[in-house]
């Protein structure tokens, strides 16, 4: 029979060398598990005579308790040491300068939109908005563009489906078919339905056209609609406001020209061109080698439009215009491709 005190001596020496949790577990298994040394000693007690059994049994149990306590103590020590080491490794240097949070950039179109809004606000215009999903009535009919009118070809349109039907072919409700607005002009109608003249508004917003893209065409872009209705408004007033705007926006030397044009909702109608600043009038891909760039459609509000919103055209007249916000931005910053605005390319956007 082994002497308990020898076992204890060896065990004490062994535990002193234990320096990891893993080794501690091996130690515990070696002495206290089902097949461990102490378990075996206690089991073999039955072979001894009663006196010895009592003595050795007592010593063995004492050793068991002793080892349990030692193991617990050592476990605690090792755990504390591990936590300390981990903390040392994870030490944070709070004096290191923080990583800079990168500032976002305002999109160039937004920048220019606010500049335009400022200029018109100074001239007494209010800023209003309308929905991007429109119905046929506001986008076309109320603007004197009845169904089947060839002028509808001027606007390539995204029609929306409703109840699984292609809206374009549905006969559900007259003029209620939904579409993505092809211009901001429907905001004129929405505003005049709710407000009495005199009116002086601009309506910036996003519009949509179903067409092929290239350096100067996108399937969505931005316009700034303008509308002024008052007594005795003439083309002279219109020209003055436009010249004021372009001079304020591009600088005093800016050259603009009015070209006769056609829109069903204005009569007479004009196209406002600005001398191309990319090539200074010589001709380039942005101005389609014309030297001038079309910046707006405009004209005197057609009496039929006023009739559609129940405004007496004998008493009230006015003008309307639709500025191309993308083009204004391109000219201002000499950007030669409209697609850059919608590409999400940070190398482009970070320059503003
Ligand atoms: N809505 C026209 C377009 O998108 C522009 C326009 C606006 C013309 C107002 C006349 C008056 O082409």
Q: Is the pLDDT of residue 151 over 80?
A: no
Residue-wise pLDDT for 137-150, tens only, equals 999 999 999 888 87
pLDDT value, residue 277 = 76
Per-residue pLDDT band for 285 (boundaries 50, 70, 90) equals: confident
Average pLDDT over residues 4-13: 90
Among the listed residues 142, 176, 174, 186, the one whose alpha carbon sits nearest the alpha carbon of residue 304: 142
pLDDT value, residue 171 = 52
Give residue for tokens 């004490």.
12
Q: Is the pLDDT of residue 329 over 70?
A: yes
pLDDT value, residue 9 = 92
Q: Which two tokens stand for residue 117?
A: 């809004």
On whether the CB atoms of residues 296 and 271 are closer than 8 A, the answer is yes
CATH number, span 108-130+182-349: 3.30.930.10
Average pLDDT over residues 206-215: 92
Computed over every residue of the chain, the mean pLDDT equals: 90
Q: Is the pLDDT of residue 259 over 70?
A: yes
Q: Is the pLDDT of residue 213 over 80?
A: yes
154 to 32, 182, 263: CA distances (angstroms): 92, 10, 9
199 to 20, 102, 128: CA distances (angstroms): 85, 43, 12
Q: Which residue has the higher pLDDT, 125 or 40?
A: 125
Q: Which residue has the higher pLDDT, 123 or 275?
A: 123
Mutate to test the pocket of ligand 1, among 263, 268, 271, 321 (most ligand atoms within 8 A of CB): 263
Q: Which residue has the higher pLDDT, 174 or 127?
A: 127
What is the Cα 254 distance to its own chain's centre? Answer: 35
Ligand 1 mean position, distance from CA 271 (Å): 9
Among the listed residues 240, 244, 257, the one whose alpha carbon sits nearest the alpha carbon of residue 293: 257
On whether the CB atoms of residues 27 and 15 are closer than 8 A, the answer is yes
Per-residue pLDDT band for 286 (boundaries 50, 70, 90) equals: confident
Give residue for tokens 């092809």.
182
Among the listed residues 131, 225, 223, 143, the one whose alpha carbon sits nearest the alpha carbon of residue 180: 131
Tell the residue nearest (CA) to atom 10 of ligand 1: 298
Ligand 1 mean position, distance from CA 263 (Å): 7
Q: Is the pLDDT of residue 166 over 90?
A: no
User: Global pTM?
Assistant: 0.70
Mutate to test the pocket of ligand 1, among 152, 188, 204, 223 (most ligand atoms within 8 A of CB): 223
Residues with CB under 6 A from ligand 1: 183, 185, 263, 266, 297-299, 320-322
What is the Cα 173 distance to its own chain's centre? Answer: 35
Ligand 1 atom index nearest CA of 185: 1
Residue-wise pLDDT for 99-113, tens only, equals 888 888 899 999 999
Choose the most confident range, by mean pLDDT, from 151-160, 173-182, 265-274. Answer: 265-274
Ligand 1 mean position, distance from CA 185 (Å): 6
Ligand 1 atom index nearest CA of 227: 9
Ligand 1 mean position, distance from CA 170 (Å): 27
Ligand 1 mean position, distance from CA 266 (Å): 8
Helix (H, G, I), strand (E, B) or coil at 273: strand
Tell the residue nearest (CA) to atom 4 of ligand 1: 183
Average pLDDT over residues 196-202: 97
Per-residue pLDDT band for 235 (boundaries 50, 70, 90) equals: very high
Q: Is the pLDDT of residue 173 over 80?
A: no
Per-residue pLDDT band for 92 (boundaries 50, 70, 90) equals: confident
On whether the CB atoms of residues 114 and 161 are closer than 8 A, the answer is no
Beta bridge partners of 272: 258, 296
Q: Which sequence spans correspond to the domains of the chain?
A: 4-89, 108-130+182-349
Tell the residue nearest (CA) to atom 9 of ligand 1: 321
On whether the CB atoms of residues 256 and 274 are closer than 8 A, the answer is yes
Give start and end residues of each alpha helix (H) in the chain. Answer: 4-17, 21-32, 37-43, 50-89, 108-122, 136-139, 186-194, 235-250, 303-308, 325-333, 346-349
Q: Which residue has the higher pLDDT, 221 or 3?
A: 221
Among the listed residues 181, 154, 109, the one whose alpha carbon sits nearest the alpha carbon of residue 333: 109
pLDDT value, residue 89 = 87
Residue-wise pLDDT for 29-87, tens only, equals 999 999 999 888 888 888 888 888 888 889 999 999 999 999 999 999 999 998 988 88
Percent of the chain with pLDDT over 70: 96
Ligand 1 mean position, distance from CA 156 (Å): 14
Determine whether 319 is exposed, middle or buried from the number of CB atoms within 10 Å of its CB (0-12, 13-18, 19+).
buried
CA–CA separation, 227 and 247 (whole Å): 19
Ligand 1 atom index nearest CA of 322: 7
pLDDT value, residue 165 = 55
Least confident of 24-28, 277-281, 339-343: 277-281
Ligand 1 mean position, distance from CA 173 (Å): 26
Least confident of 91-95, 307-311, 325-329: 91-95
Classify strands 266-275 and 292-301 as parallel, antiparallel or unpaired.
antiparallel
């Amino acid at each position: 029979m082994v002497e308990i005190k020898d076992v204890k001596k060896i065990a004490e020496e062994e535990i002193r060398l234990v320096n990891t949790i893993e080794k501690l577990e091996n130690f515990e298994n070696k002495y206290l598990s089902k097949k461990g040394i102490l378990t075996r000693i206690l089991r073999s007690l039955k072979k001894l005579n009663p006196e010895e059994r009592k003595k050795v049994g007592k010593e063995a149990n004492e050793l068991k308790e002793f080892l349990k306590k030692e193991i617990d103590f050592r476990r605690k020590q090792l755990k504390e040491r591990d936590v300390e080491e981990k903390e040392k490794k994870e030490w944070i240097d709070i004096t290191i300068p923080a990583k800079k949070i990168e500032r976002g950039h305002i999109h160039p179109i937004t920048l220019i939109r606010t500049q335009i809004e400022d200029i018109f606000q100074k001239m007494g215009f209010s800023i209003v908005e309308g929905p991007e999903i429109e119905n046929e009535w506001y986008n076309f009919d109320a603007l004197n563009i009845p169904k089947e009118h060839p002028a509808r070809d001027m606007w390539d349109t995204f029609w929306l489906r409703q109840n699984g039907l292609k809206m374009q072919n549905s006969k559900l409700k007259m003029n209620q078919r939904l579409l993505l607005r092809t211009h901001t002009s429907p905001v004129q109608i929405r505003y005049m339905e709710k407000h009495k003249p005199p009116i002086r508004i601009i309506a910036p917003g996003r519009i949509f056209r179903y067409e092929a893209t290239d350096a100067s065409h996108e399937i969505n872009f931005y316009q700034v609609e303008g509308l002024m209705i008052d007594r005795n408004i003439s083309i002279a007033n219109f020209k003055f406001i436009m010249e004021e705007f372009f001079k304020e926006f591009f600088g005093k030397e800016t050259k603009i020209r009015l070209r006769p044009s056609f829109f069903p909702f204005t009569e007479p109608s004009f196209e406002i061109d600005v001398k191309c600043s990319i090539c200074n009038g010589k001709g380039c891909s942005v101005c389609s080698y014309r030297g001038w760039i079309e910046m707006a459609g405009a004209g005197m509000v057609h009496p039929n439009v006023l009739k559609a919103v129940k405004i007496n055209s004998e008493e009230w007249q006015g003008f309307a215009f639709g500025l191309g916000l993308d083009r204004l931005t391109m000219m201002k910053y000499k950007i030669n491709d409209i697609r850059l605005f919608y590409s999400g390319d940070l190398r482009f956007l970070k320059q503003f």
